[in-house]
Amino acid sequence: MAEGGGQSSESLLFLTDEQLRKGIEAMFFAYRGFTADPDRILEDHAYGRAHHRAVHFINRFPGTTVNNLLAILGVTKQSLNRVLRSLIEDGLVESRVGTRDKRERHLFLTEAGAALERSLSEAQRKRMRTAYRAAGPEAVVGFRQVLEAMMDPEMRAHFDEAKDSGG
Amino acid sequence: MAEGGGQSSESLLFLTDEQLRKGIEAMFFAYRGFTADPDRILEDHAYGRAHHRAVHFINRFPGTTVNNLLAILGVTKQSLNRVLRSLIEDGLVESRVGTRDKRERHLFLTEAGAALERSLSEAQRKRMRTAYRAAGPEAVVGFRQVLEAMMDPEMRAHFDEAKDSGG
DNA sequence: TTGGAATGTCAACAAGGCTGACATAAAATC
DNA sequence: GATTTTATGTCAGCCTTGTTGACATTCCAA
């Protein structure tokens, strides 16, 4: 092998269709693992992933508006509304009319909602922690870099927002 | 900073709940990007992600049985059957009765099916290639390591199988 | 040869996406 | 003040894709 071009051959090595396919399948199988633990917990509460996502981001941004949540989750208001309604009815989420703008509803987790959120995120963090430990610190940096590069620009904006506030 | 304990402090640094939460949200947003391009193509054909997954793995393992596919995809046979039926009706997949065991159906892509698969995987590879290029070779290694560690053991077995045959 | 296991199909239901239409209230604008 | 725009909620209905249950076919082993 001619190693004179070093950097160049190395940066092409992992771009074969085979290597890319492995990355694609790794995403598929890993995402299943990623959601498996919360899914089991949600089953007990007769909730689904949609509820998990709502609870997660209401916890991340307490007092967020419905519109804000819609932008983050990328679903229609009808779809989100169905989920929010059940969460509110069950006393996991509180919806407060805005003070400045009374059209807006600000969303908060109740204590019960926060408890479910902790239960879900603890399970998911546990899996993430185990994977991080197994792969090592340098792998984690690379993992995050590739994921961020894979996002759509809009999603990346939401991600960066979430990154700043609190981390 | 005391660098004497180097390895130890470094391997704890990324295990804070904040760091783990960032990893969790990165997975969420990145997976949306990961599926966005194929989703747009599938819309034109009135298909969904389930069709994509079936076509992908039939292409990967030509002649695979329905049962085999079930284990990989992790859904019920009834759910998969509905997807397969439409793909067969539309002439994208061919189902051949097994020669040794006539209960089994062996699945193959037709030329039209292979064309759709190429269209889908090209779009997905393009996104993966761009992300890999942006993140660099070392990041890619880490990315793959973390994803593999995140899988359930059963899924990891399927992934490794897929890794060997062809890669 | 008969009964159990494996495989695949049909029917029906639920979750959670979607669109469209519409109501309400508040804010913004003319 | 009247009108328009914005934010939210709701109803109806559709689609995809999960689920269970019931059933037919095929194979194999007792």
Helices (H), chain A: 7-13, 17-44, 49-60, 66-73, 77-89, 111-135, 137-150, 153-164
Which of B59, B34, B163, B95 has its CA nearest to residue A34? B34
Give the residue-averaged pLDDT of B43-69.
94
Please answer whether residues A164 and B25 qualify as being in contact, where contact means their C-beta atoms are separated by less than 8 angstroms: no
User: Nearest nt to B78, CA vs C1'?
Assistant: C9
Q: Report pLDDT for A8.
A: 47
Report if CB B99 to strand D is under 7 Å: no
Report if CB A63 to strand C is under 7 Å: no
> ∠ CA A28-A74-A144 to the nearest 5 degrees?
45
Task: Please judge whether A125 and B162 are an interchain contact, meaning their C-beta atoms are less than 8 angstroms apart.
Answer: no
* Residue A110 vs residues A33, A79, A91: alpha-carbon distances, Å: 29, 22, 7
- pLDDT of B109 higher than 70: yes
Report if CB A71 to strand C is under 7 Å: no
- pLDDT of B4 higher than 50: no
Give the distance, in angstroms, between residue A98 CA and nucleotide C25 C1'.
12
**CA dihedral of A144, A126, A43, A151, whole degrees rounded to 10:** 0
Q: Report pLDDT for B166.
A: 40
pLDDT digit string, tens, across residues B67-101: 999 999 999 999 999 999 999 999 999 999 888 88
Please give chain A's pLDDT, 167 residues, in tens: 444 334 444 555 568 999 999 999 999 999 999 999 999 999 989 899 999 999 999 999 999 999 999 999 999 999 999 999 999 999 999 999 988 888 899 999 999 999 999 999 999 999 999 999 999 999 999 999 999 999 999 899 888 876 654 43
The two beta strands, B105-109 and B64-65, are: antiparallel
| Residue A101 DSSP class | -
Which of A69, A27, A32 has its CA nearest to residue B128? A27
Q: How does DSSP assign B28-86, residue by residue?
A: HHHHHHHHHHHHHHHHHTT--HHHHHHHHHHHHSTTEEHHHHHHHHTS-HHHHHHHHHH
The span from the CA of A135 to the CA of B144, in Å, is 9
Q: Which comes out higher in pLDDT, residue B163 or B157?
A: B157
Identify the sign of the CA torsion B102, B105, B107, B110.
Answer: positive
Which of B66, B76, B60, B117 has its CA nearest to residue B96? B66
Residue A3, amino acid? E
What count of CB pairs under 8 Å joins A to B?
A: 213
Highest mean predicted confidence (pLDDT) among A2-11, B53-62, B155-164: B53-62
Give the distance, in angstroms, between residue A53 CA and nucleotide C22 C1'.
28
- pLDDT of B35 higher than 70: yes
**CA dihedral of B79, B85, B88, B89, whole degrees rounded to 10:** -140
Give the residue-averaged pLDDT of B111-117.
96
Task: Considering only the beta carbons, identify the residue of B11, B26, B33 that sits closest to A152.
Answer: B33
Q: Report pLDDT for A123.
A: 96
Residue A137 CB contacts under 8 Å (≥ 6 apart), including other chains: B10, B11, B13, B14
Please tell me the total number of residues recorded for chain B in this structure.
Answer: 167
> What order of strands is seen across the sheet that includes strand A64-65?
A64-65, A105-109, A93-97
Q: Report pLDDT for A166.
A: 41
Query: Mean pLDDT over all residues of chain B?
Result: 89
Report if CB B35 to strand C is under 7 Å: no
